[in-house]
Amino acid sequence: MLITDVSAAANRRARRVMPMGNTRSSAFATPYPIYLASGEGAYVTDVDGNRYLDFQNNFTALIHGYGHADVTSALLAQLMKGLSFANPTFPEIELAELLCDRVAHFEQVRFTNTGSEAVMMAIKAARALTGRTLVAKCEGAYHGNYDAVEINVTAPPTRWTDGCVGYSLEHDGLTASVARHTVVIPFNDIENSDRILSAAGCDLAAVLIDPLPSRAGLVQITPEYLAYLRRWTSARSALLISDEVLSFRLGYTGAFGESSIKPDITAFGKIIGGGLPIGAVAGGSDVMNVFAPLAKRPHVAHSGTFTANPMTMVAGLAAMAAMTKDEFRRITQLGDDARRVLADAFRSAGVTGAVTGTGSLFRIFIGAGKISSYTEAHLASHHSATLGDVIRHMRDRGVLISQVGLGAISTPMTSTDIGKLAAVFEDALRAAAWRAHARKEVAADEP
């Protein structure tokens, strides 16, 4: 087992000044998280000096891993010129041009500071353009920290016998009005989605989709479901919003760049910031004009002290310029290899499990032979405990994946790294299976 005494001490210190010791809920861990000190290439080093192969990549944002030469050089050069300004800069134009040149249905871009903010601005645009209030989202899909979408993200699955069944707010800070303004539909289920959407009818401003919703299983949207939603929204003059904050890394032109079906607005972020905070909203000029300061109504006001700051813009420009078509193909192949060897590890260890994902992303599930829906992804508590055992064992062997089993490939990785992932994962499966068996025996002996 790794020695992490300095991390433990850091957490005790942090708990005195931050609730439970940190600022991001996603970084919370028991008994304490590992505190990182540095990163280089595909590896990170913690404050105790332990080194890890990192498949977390700051929750998929660091597509180049750590210390990419072009990104670092761009940041150092901009650092000497200025961190941020009240006026626009050339790097903002250049990153917007790169994105619009790559994605045919991007005519204009508006930058934000986070993916959550990008989703929020996309929804506001849809409401302004349609004059309607209701928004539809898929069960189990996470779209950031914005009231309108913080519903039915982690709720227990329902059988969808009624459009109002199973509505669940994610935390106590939300008002009941969220459930009145948001419609929840089952992902990739045309029949039940059509019933629920038809009940909402022309009151819907937009349907919000994630092409690869991580919390709903990292299962890709089917072409049939996408086509249905495009037909439904077009027929009722509602907007189709694609949340590609996570999935924009799937290809050179994003998640839908090669598809004949295009969303009206795309919210994206993560990889386009080169490791710095960013989000963006993009679409046709007819839609994006709603953000223009001198536009006639409908109009959506949008600004921000650090929005499109030059440090983020130059980092994003360098990172995206380095992501050529060949690089996307290479990390996609590594992703294919990772999913294959992880599935092989399940079979070799004799443990029931599934590996989902596409492109450079994968997610691991314990105790489920197949994952095709949010319902199937909603694991029983003992399976979640086993997954936790696996992830901790992998960490102790020097491999990091997220606490829900999500992993991302970065460009510094090679086939050797994928081999290490497979070997450590299979060893972790065998160890976790033994512990799970031991827990059952203890439970059986209890009176």
Q: What is the pLDDT of residues 11-53, one digit of tens each?
A: 999 999 999 999 998 888 889 999 999 999 999 999 999 999 9
Under 8 Å between Cβ of 243 and 236:
no
Query: How high is the pLDDT of residue 115?
Result: 98
Query: How high is the pLDDT of residue 168?
Result: 76
| pLDDT classification of 441: cutoffs 50, 70, 90 | very low
Q: For a pLDDT cut of 70, what percent of the chain falls above it?
A: 94
Under 8 Å between Cβ of 267 and 124:
no
188-197 average pLDDT score: 94
**In this predicted model, what pLDDT tens digit does every residue of 173-186 receive, in sequence order?**
888 888 889 999 99
> Cβ of 174: how many Cβ atoms within 10 Å?
14
Query: How high is the pLDDT of residue 140?
Result: 87
**In this predicted model, what pLDDT tens digit does every residue of 77-129 receive, in sequence order?**
999 999 999 999 999 999 999 999 999 999 999 999 999 999 999 999 999 99
Torsion sign across C-alpha atoms 163, 229, 211, 279: negative
pLDDT at residue 164 greater than cutoff 50: no
Please give the Cα distance from 88 to 191 (Å, whole number): 48
Per-residue buried b or exposed e for 395-434, using 16+ beta carbons within 10 Å of the residue's own CB: bbbebbbbbbbbbbbbbbbeeebbebbbebbbbbbbbbbe
Q: Domain boundaries in the chain?
A: 5-63+324-445, 70-322
Cα–chain center distance at 369: 23
Closest-CA residue to 350 (of 263, 436, 245): 436
DSSP state for residue 337 in the 8-state scheme: H
Lowest-confidence pick of 104-108, 151-155, 230-234, 295-299: 151-155
Structure-model confidence comparison of residues 151 and 289, the more confident one: 289
Query: How high is the pLDDT of residue 163?
Result: 45
| pLDDT classification of 250: cutoffs 50, 70, 90 | very high
Query: How high is the pLDDT of residue 440?
Result: 59
Q: Could you tell me whether strands 51-54 and 43-46 are parallel, antiparallel, or unpaired per DSSP bridges?
A: antiparallel
Fold for the domain defined by 70-322: Aspartate Aminotransferase; domain 2 (3.40.640)
Query: How high is the pLDDT of residue 138?
Result: 93
pLDDT at residue 419 greater than cutoff 50: yes
pLDDT at residue 442 greater than cutoff 60: no
Residue type for 167, please? Y
Query: How high is the pLDDT of residue 205?
Result: 98
Please give the Cα distance from 275 to 277 (Å, whole number): 7
The two tokens of residue 210 are: 């994630």
> Cβ of 67: how many Cβ atoms within 10 Å?
13
Closest-CA residue to 424 (of 46, 53, 4): 53
Query: How high is the pLDDT of residue 216?
Result: 87
Mean pLDDT, the chain, as a whole number?
A: 92
pLDDT at residue 311 greater than cutoff 90: yes
pLDDT at residue 383 greater than cutoff 50: yes
Superfamily of domain 5-63+324-445: Aspartate Aminotransferase, domain 1 (3.90.1150.10)
Residue type for 337, please? D
Please give the Cα distance from 433 to 64 (Å, whole number): 34
How far is residue 212 from each of residues 104, 307, 338, 427, measured CA to CA in Å? 20, 27, 17, 29
pLDDT at residue 160 greater than cutoff 60: no
CB-based contacts of 218, cutoff 8 Å, min separation 6: 212, 356, 357, 361, 362, 363, 371, 406
Lowest-confidence pick of 87-101, 149-163, 226-240: 149-163
Closest-CA residue to 365 (of 350, 351, 355, 378): 355
The two tokens of residue 411 are: 């460009």
Query: How high is the pLDDT of residue 352?
Result: 92
| Most confident region among 20-34, 168-182, 270-284, 382-396 by mean pLDDT | 270-284
